[in-house]
Amino acid sequence: MRRGATWWARRPPVMAPVALLLALTACGGQASGVTPTAPGRIAVLAASHVPATIGGLEVKREDVGQTVAAAGPAYVDAVAMYGLRAGSVLEATLEVGRFAPGSRYRSARFQAGIVNRIGSTTPRRYRLGRDVVYLTTGPRQNLAVWFRGRLLMILTVRQDYRTARALLRDALEVRA
């Protein structure tokens, strides 16, 4: 199979769902005092308040059932993933993970432990309005990570998407 620009445009960014579950299996450790959600017990997050469009892109809930079922112990009890499309082209994904009760999700150290495991570059911290957003990159994609109470949100955008900053601003308005 030829892997040209068309192939990439139609493939979902696969790093994000893997990064979310990997990051959340490793943060905290035994010293956290939190019992991780057992394998096979992570749920698909119930319908939330994600709008039908974000930044002019159509939002569609993605099936993450197999990924969630295959995950090991994690410090989330539910996850959801949304594809953001321009027609049939997947431009970005928005992932939402809900921390399990008892997680130290408000702790800067806990958050840093998560953020440092997502992406392939050292995350840069920015304040955008009321939110602290961490920006990093992955293979041909840019990632933005932020926390909302018990929720972890990850926006993964194709590197060649022209209005990524505007899309991030619009995604920050989502109250999942």
Q: Give the per-residue pLDDT at 153.
A: 94
- Measured between alpha carbons, how far is 8 from 15 in angstroms, rounded to an integer? 13
Q: Give the per-residue pLDDT at 96.
A: 92
Q: How confident is the model at residue 1 (pLDDT cuts 50, 70, 90)?
A: very low
The answer to whether 61 touches 80, Cβ cutoff 8 Å, is yes
Question: Per-residue pLDDT tens for 93-145?
Answer: 999 999 988 888 899 998 988 898 888 889 999 999 899 999 999 889 999 99
CATH code of 125's domain: 3.40.1000
Q: Three-state SS for 39?
A: coil
Question: Per-residue pLDDT tens for 9-47?
Answer: 444 444 445 445 545 554 444 445 567 777 677 878 876
pLDDT above 90 (res 73): no
Domain count, the chain: 1
Domain holding 126, by residue range, is 5-172
Q: How confident is the model at residue 8 (pLDDT cuts 50, 70, 90)?
A: very low
Q: Which residues of 96-107 are buried (b: 16+ CB within 10 A; e: fewer)?
A: bbbbbeebbbee
pLDDT above 70 (res 149): yes
